[in-house]
Amino acid sequence: MNRKVFPALALLGLWSISMFGWSQTRELGGTGELLDGIAAIVDNGIVLRSEFNERLGLTINALNRIQLQTPPEQRQAMPALSILEDQVLEQLILHQVQLQRAQRFGIIASDEFLNQVLSGVAEEANLTLEDLPNALAEEGIDYAMYRQDTREQLILDQLQQRDVIAQIIIAPREMELCLSRSEQNASDEIDYNISHILIGLPSSATDNEVNEARKRVEEIYERLQTGEEFSQLAIAYSESQTALDGGALGWRKGVQLPTLFASEVIAMEAGNVSDPIQSGSGFHIVRLNDVRGAETIMIDQIRVRHILLRPNAILDDSAVMQKLVGIRNQIIEGDDFATLAQATSEDPVSAAEGGDLGWVGPGTFVPEFEQQLATLELAELSEPFQTRFGWHIVEVTERRSYDTTEEMKELKCAEQIRSTKLEEERELWLRRLRDEAFVEKLI
């Protein structure tokens, strides 16, 4: 197995939290005694001590590996165990809060959907789905746990799509400004690699809480000025979901930078750290890790149309799939795709256009949808398949290769506007969920 490729695949198993199947149950021995302890009570569920210990162990092992890969002269002291314990327990609690909310809304990730995603992960590492269990075992990762972790992440992705992304509104004026800036501001096409530290505030913070958070972030800023490692301070103190990744937000185009600190990042040089920045979710410090220039790329595009059906109280997954099989057979026998899409599809926007999703480039759709498109010849009708949005049949009607068009600029701007709002909206949403949850820590 290619060891340079596979560790990246294994990160999901390392960093994700396996709770959905376990956190609602406790194992009892033959005499009825409890074999596991409770780390925290979270609304109607619990976080087990075993989950906490396992997550803590994985985190410590990961940090040790980072230390070993860092030149000795650049190594920083490991965060105190109590700090790591607090970080890990808070992430487990927040994970449990989200999973319970997903359960209330009936959000699931079916085995078929899960296998599609895992097949894609395996393919990226030049493996098959059948190879995956053994490959993971070589990395010390249990396949059953890895599947459960992945399933939970898919569930949370759907929840955030419902609660956060779908609620982000793009005003006409925002679109106009974005299109104007795309023409005028070359920095929009520059890539920025950034990390950030968040010292959070409750959704209704008092003056004392704000002052305390400001004091904490200023202390962290002063430590950064003395040369302490940003990633280590992020792990130790940041309250963002990226804390245990050293605060890394990764590469982003200039127009994809969160509006909160976009102007600061664009003005910074690689290696610089921003002054503390206040927002509704708390105080932020941003580090610009690296910068790279823009490239002109010709885009291969396809024109796609689809029909979407969703399970409901009457029709389960099996029934919906069979209904799509019937619709597909009608199309094969000569019925008009567009007419059937208008009559049956539950995607109201594309249904009005006969199922047409327009011209799109790579990465426009969720991975499981993209995987289906990659297998289709021109004018070939797919078998029914499932994504996080429901069940689809899809057809590629045209292909072309060209440079960016006005339509693509608008699509890109819409994606960029959502991206600039997403980080802040997600943090506010997570903080609201945490504030509204009943939590009792028992360790």
Please report, for the domain that includes residue 29, its CATH number. 1.10.4030.10
DSSP helix/strand/coil, 311 = coil
Asked if 245 and 359 sit in the same domain, the reply is no
* Residue at 173 is within a domain: no
pLDDT exceeds cutoff 70 at 18? no
Residues forming beta bridges with residue 232, ordered by sequence position = none
* Residue at 179 is within a domain: no
Asked if 352 and 436 sit in the same domain, the reply is no
| Joined tokens for residue 280 | 């509704």
Asked if 236 and 158 sit in the same domain, the reply is no
* Residue at 262 is within a domain: yes
DSSP helix/strand/coil, 363 = coil
| pLDDT recorded at residue 205 | 86
Q: At what angle do helices 6-15 and 111-124 cross, to 10 degrees?
A: 140
Can you say whether residue 284 is alpha, beta or left, with left for phi > 0 and alpha for psi between -120 and 50 degrees?
Answer: beta
Q: What distance in Å separates the CA atoms of residue 392 and residue 88, rounded to the nearest whole number? A: 38
Q: Tell me: the pLDDT tens digits for 397-433?
A: 999 887 665 776 788 888 889 888 888 899 999 999 9
Domain holding 242, by residue range, is 186-295+423-441
Asked if 11 and 141 sit in the same domain, the reply is yes
Domain count, the chain: 3
| pLDDT recorded at residue 31 | 42
Asked if 197 and 89 sit in the same domain, the reply is no
Q: What distance in Å separates the CA atoms of residue 345 and residue 324, rounded to the nearest whole number? A: 10
Residues 6+ apart with CB under 8 A from 329: none
Asked if 147 and 17 sit in the same domain, the reply is yes
* Nearest residue to 99 via CA among 374, 443, 414, 433: 433
Asked if 345 and 398 sit in the same domain, the reply is yes
Q: What distance in Å separates the CA atoms of residue 298 and residue 207, rounded to the nearest whole number? A: 52
DSSP state of 247: T
The answer to whether 414 and 175 have CB atoms below 8 angstroms apart is yes
Asked if 203 and 334 sit in the same domain, the reply is no
Q: Tell me: the pLDDT tens digits for 315-348?
A: 899 999 999 999 999 999 999 999 999 999 999 9
Asked if 16 and 118 sit in the same domain, the reply is yes
Instruction: Give percent helix, percent strand, percent coil of the chain, each to the nearest 5.
Output: 50, 20, 30
Asked if 258 and 381 sit in the same domain, the reply is no
17 or 274: which carries more pLDDT confidence? 274
Task: Identify the domain boundary among 130, 163, 196.
Answer: 163
* Nearest residue to 163 via CA among 369, 433, 439: 433
| Joined tokens for residue 305 | 């149309």
